[in-house]
Chain A
Amino acid sequence: MSSVSYIRRPNRLGKLISTPGGRKLGEAVATAEANIESLRPGLLAEVDQALEGLREAAGRNDVASHAEVYKRATAVVSFAGLCGLTRVGEVAYNLCELSDRYIDAGVWNEAAIAAHIQTMSVLRMANLPDDSPEAEAVLDGLKTLVRRAEERAAAAESS
């Protein structure tokens, strides 16, 4: 039987950050958000670069390109929401889920991947409001794709 030890350490972080002074929590958040806002042009460029990389990777169909699709999709997730492209970020997250499941299952559906990338490109250019019915409908369709991939993976596991 393995032994378990419990270790208590002084709360250094707690002591440091609770010293008198510092910033009010609301002020700290507002300043951080303003700082991010100043990075927006660079973040938009990063999203565009990741989308370009996605299109390029999706054009190939080998193991390395599949991993590249996943990696580029995570990059879009990281930045899109920070520069007002929330819907693009949601589609990218969906693509992360889908490509991760495909990679795990050893399958690849080029059409489903391409649909995600085209949707992100359209949403990026169209600049639709986040709550527009068009954007909502597109996202629902893509989520159905992921759900089907999940169901297929579950069926393959159980058989």
Chain B
Amino acid sequence: MSFVDPSLANLGSRIDLRKATILLVEPNNQAMDVLASIFLGFGATHCLKATSFEEAQQAVHGAPVDLIACEATLQPDQPDGYEFVSWLRRSGLEPNAFAPVLLLSSHTSSRNVSRARDCGAHFMVTKPLAPAVLLQRIVWIAQHNRTFVSCDVYTGPDRRFQNLGPPDGVGRRHNDLPAEVGAVAGANMDQDEIDSLLTPKKVVR
């Protein structure tokens, strides 16, 4: 679940990234320039840059990182961005294992989006990068401090941060009740009956 921190209610109008340490993971030089120039535009002054899985691993072993923007496809023949996030979440590195991660990808097929969700990223942002979209995601992450979940098959921010009801309006378990409310089974209780159930009474033993 996520909780909106009341002290961050005014975050909708200004953003201060001057003191934030941001890790940018991007193998392509030109794409790294784009990413860095966007964060520079947002006012960030301290960006760490990594161009491969190994460099990214080294970077998170250092000082605390406040935000990670990671390209999903890294160097060929190396683990990719999804694997980096998955590794990070289970690394036990404090506090970086819990750092917010934005995965960036040019190809956001449903398979890639599912991989991003299941590796423990906070969001997947599609390329070409639109500064407005990126900033919106950062503000959202900052406002909603999602609880982390850790179990055998998943470690990362709680994926159930929206309550959309049962899929397609239908329960997913065979014994779920139908969405439609059935006919009334009996007459309403009158007020005295309700009171007798709710009002505490002294019991004489």
- Which A residues fall within an 8 A CB radius of B? 2-9, 11-14, 16-25, 28-36, 38-39, 42-43, 46, 70-71, 74-75, 77-82, 89, 93, 96-97, 100
- Shortest A22–chain B CB gap in Å is 3
Any A CB within 8 A of the CB of B47: no
Query: CB within 8 A of B28: which of A14, A19, A78, A93?
Result: A78
Can you name the residue of chain A whose Cβ is closest to the Cβ of B100?
Answer: A13
Whether B106 and A28, one on each chain, are in contact in the complex, defined by CB atoms closer than 8 angstroms, is no
Whether A13 and B147, one on each chain, are in contact in the complex, defined by CB atoms closer than 8 angstroms, is no
Any A CB within 8 A of the CB of B170: no
Given contacts A14-B11, A25-B14, A82-B34, 8 further A-B contacts (CB under 8 A): A3-B151, A6-B158, A31-B40, A35-B37, A39-B34, A74-B105, A80-B128, A96-B106
Any A CB within 8 A of the CB of B38: yes
B residues contacting the other copy or chain, number (CB 8 A):
58
Whether B131 and A78, one on each chain, are in contact in the complex, defined by CB atoms closer than 8 angstroms, is no
Knowing A25-B139, A32-B41, say if A43 contacts B34 (CB, 8 Å).
yes
Please give, as numbers and ranges, the residues of chain B lying within 8 Å of A36 by CB-CB distance. 34, 37-38, 131
Whether A22 and B66, one on each chain, are in contact in the complex, defined by CB atoms closer than 8 angstroms, is no
- CA–CA, A84 and B64, complex, Å: 37
- Which B residues fall within an 8 A CB radius of A? 5, 7-8, 10-20, 28, 30-31, 33-34, 37-43, 64, 66-67, 73, 95, 98, 100, 105-107, 109, 127-129, 131-132, 134-135, 138-139, 141-143, 145, 147-153, 158
- 18 inter-chain pairs at a CB distance below 8 angstroms, sorted by A residue, are A9-B95, A9-B148, A11-B8, A13-B66, A14-B142, A14-B145, A17-B16, A18-B8, A18-B11, A29-B131, A32-B38, A33-B41, A34-B41, A35-B38, A71-B73, A78-B106, A78-B127, A79-B30
- CA–CA, A36 and B129, complex, Å: 10
Query: CB within 8 A of B106: which of A13, A22, A23, A75?
Result: A75
Whether B30 and A43, one on each chain, are in contact in the complex, defined by CB atoms closer than 8 angstroms, is yes
Can you name the residue of chain B whose Cβ is closest to the Cβ of A3?
Answer: B151
